[in-house]
Chains A and B, each alone.
Chain A
């Protein structure tokens, strides 16, 4: 099937900017992507914006038109919401538009403003991605939900907090020189284990931070790129999406994520690849245990085996399968609606050679993004390849 070519990418610095509005963040990322693409903004046929909780954080719904004007366009504009997978789902809509001929040029981005809510407010805002009746009213939080998954994993498969700490140490090391990352600092296993508890067994350094930020990318059809002489060294060649029961308690297993498995299988088939072709990937590590479950669901490890991957050096920058070279959600930051788009912008830069960690993937040709919503009730996977 036709692929959607990446003409340009943009991303704000991720971090703590409580005074910056969503429209300002999105405007910066979108404008950067348009500049990077070298296209005339009037050429944009459609805009998709991933955002999760604008209503709660800045009393702002209906972000399509707002963000269109934030980047100075009047193309048909739509917001996409799928909790922390909002950005990846927005990318999926854009890929479909380009592939089916509905559009030649699509701007897709994501944005989230979180720090102005405070820690408790943001915890409450994020919790609405769970089931109101049978989870939120019982006191669930997202750190709490992933803590339930981690505790169950330890009981069923073994492993411990120290294994998970190596995931955080790896992702901080990857972000250490990334100028857009929220945490450009290396940490130790001891620091992870001694950090204040959030919802045990998840501590502060098992958790992705509260983050303000935005990311955007311009997708074009192959024909459009050729006609206009655009440089598009990277293309999205496969897309997949999975859905599961919203409440964790309604799943057959608390330690297996069928939505990730389904999204991965669909994306591999769509791109005509197998997981063995994948050179590196960005996965949804909102909590350390989430990276483990993602690597198993995507087929890179058997169930119960991925917990030692970081500790053994298999997924570090110099390992066989580098995971989250951007720093991941854990250290790059997790402005939830922007995350799925930021995974695409970071992989594009890693391939193009203008990312600080590009040296780690010099000979690479196939990469994946994995973006999840809630406790993986939603998952979306994209295959990115170096264009011929």
Chain B
């Protein structure tokens, strides 16, 4: 990703890392993890943040089946949206499965997809 393609510095690089199969979070000396962009740790305010790998595999903590979307997803509905845990960090993303195959606790793998409406990138979860 070249500098002139960056629209949201920190976020765009984090998505690219997910796409490349080596996702990362930011970690402070206390071990708190969060997603970029961050100047300081949101939990303790520490400013020395390091990029640390997070696993590709996670656990689905919850999901919904969205029928009424925002305008940016009007051609995507219905879709399954979930929150999954990857070690010490959680992500919100599109679950690429039919609702009847999904349950709380499902094992998922994080990846990158796009909105069918805007073709803008988004976080995806494949059932493992």
- B68 cross-chain contacts in A, Cβ below 8 A: 119-120, 123, 141, 143, 198-199
Tell me, yes or no, whether B99 is within 8 Å of chain A by CB: yes
CB of A137 within 8 A of CB of B122, answer: yes
Question: Nearest CB to that of A151 among chain B residues?
Answer: B62
Tell me, yes or no, whether B23 is within 8 Å of chain A by CB: no
CB of B81 within 8 A of CB of A140, answer: yes
- A138 cross-chain contacts in B, Cβ below 8 A: 81, 92-94, 122-123
CB of B115 within 8 A of CB of A133, answer: no
B66: which of A144, A155, A245, A254 is its contact (CB, 8 Å)? A144
- Bound Cα distance from A11 to B64, whole angstroms: 35
Tell me, yes or no, whether B29 is within 8 Å of chain A by CB: no
CB of B8 within 8 A of CB of A139, answer: no
Give chain A's interface secondary structure class.
helix
Tell me, yes or no, whether A134 is within 8 Å of chain B by CB: yes
| A133-B8, A152-B62, A249-B83 known; A139-B76 Cβ under 8 A | yes
CB of B66 within 8 A of CB of A141, answer: yes
- B105 cross-chain contacts in A, Cβ below 8 A: 155
A139: which of B34, B62, B83, B115 is its contact (CB, 8 Å)? B115
Question: Interface 1/0s, chain B 38-80, versus A by CB < 8 A?
Answer: 0000100000000000000000011111111111111010110
- B104 cross-chain contacts in A, Cβ below 8 A: 151-152, 155
Question: Nearest CB to that of B35 among chain A residues?
Answer: A134
Tell me, yes or no, whether A193 is within 8 Å of chain B by CB: no
CB of B67 within 8 A of CB of A196, answer: yes
- Output the least CB separation between B106 and chain A (Å): 11
A124: which of B71, B82, B90, B92 is its contact (CB, 8 Å)? B71
Tell me, yes or no, whether A197 is within 8 Å of chain B by CB: yes
- Output the least CB separation between B40 and chain A (Å): 14
- Bound Cα distance from A133 to B91, whole angstroms: 11
- Output the least CB separation between B81 and chain A (Å): 6
**Contacts of A196-255 to chain B: CB distance below 8 A:** 196-202, 245, 247-250, 254
> Count of B residues near A, CB < 8 Å?
38
- B99 cross-chain contacts in A, Cβ below 8 A: 200
Question: Nearest CB to that of A149 among chain B residues?
Answer: B62
CB of B62 within 8 A of CB of A254, answer: yes
| A199-B64, A201-B64 known; A250-B42 Cβ under 8 A | yes
Question: Interface 1/0s, chain A 249-263, versus B by CB < 8 A?
Answer: 110001000000000
- Bound Cα distance from A38 to B61, whole angstroms: 54
Tell me, yes or no, whether A364 is within 8 Å of chain B by CB: no
- Bound Cα distance from A143 to B78, whole angstroms: 13
Name, among B35, B74, B92, the residue most crowded by chain A CB atoms within 10 Å (CB to CB): B92
- Bound Cα distance from A139 to B68, whole angstroms: 10
- Bound Cα distance from A120 to B67, whole angstroms: 11
Question: Nearest CB to that of A119 among chain B residues?
Answer: B68
CB of B71 within 8 A of CB of A197, answer: no
CB of A124 within 8 A of CB of B70, answer: yes
Tell me, yes or no, whether A136 is within 8 Å of chain B by CB: yes
| A139-B70, A249-B92 known; A199-B65 Cβ under 8 A | yes
Q: List 14 A-B contacts (CB under 8 A).
A: A120-B70, A124-B71, A133-B11, A138-B94, A139-B73, A139-B94, A140-B81, A148-B62, A149-B62, A200-B64, A201-B64, A248-B92, A249-B91, A250-B34
Chain B positions near chain A (C-beta within 8 angstroms): 8, 11, 34-35, 42, 61-74, 76, 78-79, 81-83, 90-94, 99, 104-105, 115, 120-123
